[in-house]
Amino acid sequence: MRLFFLSLIVSINMYSQSSGKITYSFYIPVSVDDAKDENAKIFVSKMMEFANKQEFELLFNKSKSSFTYIDQLRYDSDYDKKIDNISRLAYTSLDTYLDFENKIAVMLMSDGTLVSSILENEKWDIQNESKKIGNYLCYKATLQKAFVNRKGEQKTREIICWFAPSLPYSYGPKTFNGLPGLILELTEDNKTFVASKIELFDKNSNINFPKGKMVSKEEYDKKIKEGLGAVIKPKS
């Protein structure tokens, strides 16, 4: 894994800060063992290469947060840009917005649709295990997260994170939140987000949610299933 150098920019007193901006790097081990042919191996390898260059930005204030992709990569072709977009869907994260007062999570899908869901209270299991990330003492926490696989089966995956109690903010990558400290590292399957830069501010930063038509997660999932069904349905 690459080494991440964590820097901290603090104004006045850390505990008086009401908002912040966290930059996360991303890491996934490159493996093409499951690819069926040489072309597929090249494509998957390219996706992972782009994923490992991606960075994300967490913004938060007292009641809202956003976790968004930092568009800083340069592409040799439109094809490379498409691969990068696909790698976000496959490996990293779509743009996510959380409203803690109203308990709402909003995700901006690749087709521009805004999908809303209820913001869950995560049931973390905090461990005694600790380690240093940069200059911060972090503690391990795990979460069993339910999901539905491509076959429509209910499954669970383990989320592992490391949070810093000395940074008393209950935020983290994607929709993960609710720990007594900022999440500096989070692993989902074999995919890891690691904080590389922290900026804290004494003023409450504005977080603007995207505008557009909003649908519920249930509605969106139903639409996707119907679309897939139409594609794979045999012609009579």
Q: Which of 52-56, 91-95, 190-194 has the lowest mean pLDDT?
A: 91-95
Question: What is the pLDDT at residue 7?
Answer: 46
Give the domain CATH number at 55. 2.50.20
Residue 232 included in any domain: no
Q: How far apart are CA 92 and CA 107, in angstroms?
A: 13
pLDDT score, position 31: 66
Of the candidates 116, 96, 113, the one whose C-alpha atom is nearest the C-alpha of residue 176 is 96
Is pLDDT at 159 greater than 50 in this prediction? yes
Q: Which domain holds residue 31?
A: 7-227
Total of domains in the chain: 1
Give the pLDDT mean for 111-125. Answer: 90
Tell me the pairing of strands 19-27 and 191-201: antiparallel
Question: Percentage of the chain surpassing pLDDT 70?
Answer: 77
Residue 75 maps to a domain: yes
Identify the band that residue 117 occupies on the pLDDT scale cut at 50, 70 and 90: very high
Taking residue 174's Cβ as centre, other Cβ atoms within 10 Å add up to 21
Tokens of 182: 């900022």
Instruction: Report d(CA 52, CA 71) in Å as an integer.
Output: 14
What average pLDDT score do residues 28-55 get? 72
Flag whether the pTM goes above 0.85: no
Given a cut of 90, whether residue 165 has pLDDT beyond it is yes
Residue 236 lies in a domain: no
Helix (H) or strand (E) holding 65: strand 64-69
Cβ pair 164, 181 in contact under 8 A: yes
Q: Is residue 144 part of a domain?
A: yes
Judge whether 69 and 56 are in contact, CB under 8 Å: yes
Higher pLDDT, 83 or 139: 139
**What confidence score (pLDDT) does residue 89 get?**
64
pLDDT at 220 over 60: yes
The answer as to whether 2 is a domain residue is no
C-alpha Rg value of the chain to the nearest Å: 19
Establish if 123 belongs to a structural domain. yes
Quote the CA–CA distance of 194 and 25 in Å, as a whole number: 5
Residue 233 has a pLDDT of 44
Is 101 inside a domain boundary? yes
